[in-house]
Structure 1
């Protein structure tokens, strides 16, 4: 037995309205046309589906069963249409989000999780980038959003807004050489064995550019590409490390000391591309703000 999907939709409207006339109106059909479709349904079913009365119609037991299964059929048909139709839609160009290494630790991943979950048709190209390069690409219209460091924005014409603290701290194994300390200068930290990020990472470059030529030559026991690994090594007592405060705050494995050097106190800014933001870009910005404000 074959059923027409429009006939099933009409039947559900008639049952919901209690009237063939009202059901026909919702399907933009004439009453004779709607009545003929119902008769065709009943002919195929071989049983009456509606009880007609002076005050309208109501489904027979067979009609109630048909209505229940018709809802399931139409739901699955809509899912099928959406699933197949997604292949025929031309995918939109991915959004481009640039950020430095510290923002790549929590802010960017958290923003991506919530944004991509809520926007299944949007894609995001994420790249680690130092602030000067990020500002250049945004100004050229080659990126949509960036997370940059306030000290490096200078006279850029790129539109920015405050995003949150990104101060750097010294970390070491809990109960180790930092126990009882609340702050120290980089010069003192560098007198101890360190673990650090790779020399090409944006955060390491920031540190190297700001410590100055008079800073003692640091001994790095190892360098790694990922802040998670850096934190794990410091927590294991391998060496002290410099890390963003938001990456380590509340970690019971660590003692955390503020850096006394002025360059360690910095803030993240959300920077916008030169092109007018699309609704997707605006939505992504909202998720970045929410991630930056999350504990």
Structure 2
């Protein structure tokens, strides 16, 4: 090592974990009780960290302790290191058990019903030891789940704000008007949204991106959306339409399995907003696990556009 180059600091993980507890509790006694240690042992560890850092980390007072600027900095990086070590332990334990990866996905109904099943089938054929947890959520709930780290990957429509998450284009879909085969609109090939707003609709729940889109477009025409029934399942929406309970706006390919069995017709909407983009959302690609990166790359393959 060249002269004048400072030696790298080697921090003890146990000491850093104790420091995190002290910083969270703002009290040595409570932190010691939490870790089932003597106060003197915790104090000794903190003193060793301060000696190694070359600066005080805590300000001790009658009520407990406060962090110095150096302590704030150490807390930030200690938490990052702890999170990384937890991820490392989890991933290595999965390799040891033969699972070799685990991905939690939250997505909107459009993506989960239309595109993801086949994409996952192709992926698991190549990587059979990957585990998945998948939950269906509204767009806003998907963003919250990824932000709060309840999911590593989300799938939303472009109408939903990603709120700082990284995004990649996943697929494109088309929204169509769904009507019973005997309906007066069934013979139409194309319709404008404004011309059908006097009909009652079967629609998704209030916090879904599709509901927000339809409501905004109806408001632009000065005609509030007549929503008779709200229901989350595409299958249930198609059944409601088939029984004459209202019209629906749904993705074209999602309706395909029900056209013949439920005697439905799909009418093209002559609207720019009917052409939608579905997005993958995640915290940061560069910080993602190798397993998640591989899956994101698979979902973005050119053949899937």
- TM-score scaled by structure 2? 0.54
Larger radius of gyration: 1
The answer to whether residue 88 in structure 2 is matched with residue 103 in structure 1 is no
Secondary structure of 1:169's aligned partner: strand
Bigger relative contact order (CA 8 A; separation at least 6): 1
Matches within 5 A, 1:1-295: 89=97, 94-116=102-124, 118-135=126-143, 138=146, 143-153=151-161, 158-212=165-219, 214-220=222-228, 222-249=229-256, 251-252=259-260, 253-274=263-284, 276-289=287-300, 293=304
Distance 1:289-1:173 versus aligned 2 partners, 3 A rule: farther
Q: How far off is 1:241 after superposition?
A: 0.9
Secondary structure of 1:167's aligned partner: strand
| Superimposed CA distance per residue, residues 175-219 of structure 1 (whole angstroms, 9 cap, x where no aligned partner) | 422233123233432322322233344433443344327323415
Contact 1:146 1:270 (C-alpha < 8 Å) held by counterparts: yes
Aligned length: 208
Secondary structure of 1:104's aligned partner: helix
What is the CA–CA distance in structure 2 between the aligned matches of 1:194 and 1:118, rounded to whole Å? 42
What is the CA–CA distance in structure 2 between the aligned matches of 1:224 and 1:151, rounded to whole Å? 20
Aligned Cα RMSD in Å?
Answer: 3.8
Structure 1 residue runs of 5 or longer lacking an equivalent are 1-85
Contact 1:96 1:143 (C-alpha < 8 Å) held by counterparts: yes
Distance 1:153-1:195 versus aligned 2 partners, 3 A rule: closer
Distance 1:143-1:217 versus aligned 2 partners, 3 A rule: closer
What is the CA–CA distance in structure 1 between the aligned matches of 2:112 and 2:292, rounded to whole Å? 18
Q: How far off is 1:291 after superposition?
A: 12
What is the CA–CA distance in structure 2 between the aligned matches of 1:197 and 1:291, rounded to whole Å? 31
| Superimposed CA distance per residue, residues 65-121 of structure 1 (whole angstroms, 9 cap, x where no aligned partner) | xxxxxxxxxxxxxxxxxxxxx997396773122222211222233334444455443
Q: How far off is 1:228 after superposition?
A: 1.5
Contact 2:168 2:279 (C-alpha < 8 Å) held by counterparts: yes
Secondary structure of 1:281's aligned partner: helix
What is the CA–CA distance in structure 2 between the aligned matches of 1:237 and 1:89, rounded to whole Å? 52
Contact 2:205 2:231 (C-alpha < 8 Å) held by counterparts: yes
What is the CA–CA distance in structure 2 between the aligned matches of 1:246 and 1:127, rounded to whole Å? 21
Q: How far off is 1:267 after superposition?
A: 1.1
